[in-house]
Amino acid sequence: MQRIYDPIEEKKALAVRLIENGYFNDALRIVDDILNVTHSDPEAVYLKSILLNSSGNKGEALIWAKKSVELNPDNTKSLMLKARLLHQFSFYRECMETLDEVFKINSKNTEALDLMADIFLRMGKPDEAYRMAMKSISILPSSWNAHFILSRYFQYQNMEKQSIKELDIAIRFNPESNLLRMEKIRRLMKAKKREEAEKEINRKGFMEIKGTFTEILVEIEFLIENSFYEKAEELCKNAILEWPHEDLLYLSMGEISYNSARRKESISYFRKALSLNQNEWYLSRLTTTLYEVEEYKEIAKLYDDRTRIPIECIEPAVDSFIKSSNPEDLIGVIKYNIDHFQNKDILFVMEGVVNNNLGYFVLEIGLLVKNTDSFAYYMDYLRDKIIKHNEPDISVKHNIEGSKFPFSFLERLIKCEFEEVEIEMYLFSPKKEEEVKWGSILFYFARLNQYGKITTNSELQVLELKYGSEYVSDAIVFLKIICGIRE
């Protein structure tokens, strides 16, 4: 009998062959073509879930797996795929319900028994896990997963010798599994048997690039975690050749270099990771490492007034702007990040600028925090620790006394000695642009409080033209608050 050509079935068969040979993207295109024609083909929906899972899109994969089960509720493959994905998301109750449906179809499904045993272990029910694993082994003695679960069960019961024995059996039945090999290495390291652990690492296959990217990454992280840096570096460099655009591999290389006391080399890898993925953690690692090697200007280049500073990097970032003689740009950076600055960060900034003879910057900080919860803390610190400098043993006092501007003027303003401030301002010779700005504002403020708004109105207009009316207005309100002057 002549076979009738069915294009949908032919496409599904082709998709399966492509999946078997690792051509997932090509297979996904074909499956999508099928689903464009027939939205409810159970096998195509099942294949779509497999392909999404293989690409790491597990959330979408679970949605399609559930749809596959709805279309074909008695299909064991669809049920097991759904159960595995639910297990990965730690949805154990729903996973167990799905496995119960599998058992209704086939009570001797060893994969389902092993998965159920694993859930029981995770739920703190070791005896139930043991029963399920033993049942699986009675059906399929070579079930490596069941033996691995028994190994974990005996470890849970503090029966280490029996646990290792079961782990070795699992490895014998699945010698290609690096997951099992890593577990054995971890146990050996815990028992302080590093030489034996190294032998396991050097066994054929462990350092080869095989499996998915995620599996390789887990292996690299495992080696780093256990301080096998040379092995981790070898595997990571080979992985980069295979996946040259994966940012996590460059992060791993950065960590390997860092832990191998090659700080400057680690910086280049952290930079590469950040260039591939603008991740806050990458920015943090790069910032802290640059700070350790005192590359302050390089840190300042990382941040602008549109870059969020990781909370743990506020101090090194601020300090780098100050030490690289770039405090003006820091104003914009702080303004953009002010919502997650804490009191200790405000203190750090203020002491930093004072200790570097940038006293005027304390006034800029005041404008930035004026409408935040930190303003009360700022005012207390400004009055008690800077203007009055009640702690003579701290370095801040020396720098305050070494630079008259702006603290002595503020102290006189608080005492309402406006005439003295005006006279001294005539003798003041600012050296920096910001000192010129704040000198002009303080001079105007002293005259305003002596002669009133009408007399000084023309001076105000000049300031507003030069620095902006909103800025000048905020500065005047801020000075009034410092001096306790009410409208």
pLDDT per residue, tens digit, the chain (487 aa), is 445 546 777 777 887 888 777 777 888 888 888 888 887 888 888 888 888 888 778 888 899 899 999 988 999 999 999 999 998 888 889 999 999 999 999 999 999 999 999 999 888 899 999 999 999 999 999 999 999 999 999 988 889 889 989 998 998 898 877 778 878 887 877 777 888 878 877 776 666 666 677 778 878 888 888 888 998 998 899 889 988 888 889 999 999 999 999 999 999 999 999 999 888 888 999 999 999 999 999 998 888 767 888 888 889 998 998 888 777 788 888 888 888 888 888 888 888 887 777 777 888 888 888 888 888 888 888 777 656 544 433 444 434 444 456 777 777 777 888 888 888 777 777 777 888 888 888 888 888 888 888 888 898 899 999 999 999 999 898 888 888 766 5
**What pLDDT, on the 0 to 100 scale, is given for residue 176?**
77
Q: CA distances (Å), 200 to each of 51, 168, 313, in order?
A: 33, 12, 39
- Both tokens assigned to 70: 């709805």
Residue of 59, 33, 65, 22 whose CA lies nearest to 47:
65
Measure CA 6 to chain center.
50
DSSP 8-state class, residue 339? G
CA distance 284 to 270: 9
Count the Cβ atoms, other than its own, within 10 Å of residue 78: 26
Which pLDDT belongs to residue 402?
40
CB atoms near residue 141 (< 10 Å) = 11
**Please, what is the angle between helix 110-122 and helix 92-105, to 10°?**
150
Q: Look up residue 96 and give its two tokens.
A: 């167990």
Domain locations along the chain = 404-487
**DSSP letters of 164-175?**
HHHHHHHHHH-T
Phi and psi torsions of 135, nearest 5°: -65, -40
Q: How far apart are CA 249 and CA 243, in angstroms?
A: 8
Asked if the peptide bond before residue 406 counts as cis, ω within 30 degrees of 0, the response is: yes
| Per-residue pLDDT, 366 | 86
CB neighbour class for 11 (10 Å; exposed up to 12, middle 13-18, buried from 19): middle
Between CA 412 and CA 446 the distance in angstroms is 10
CA distance 14 to 18: 6
| pLDDT given at position 210 | 65
Q: 321 near 349, Cβ under 8 Å?
A: no
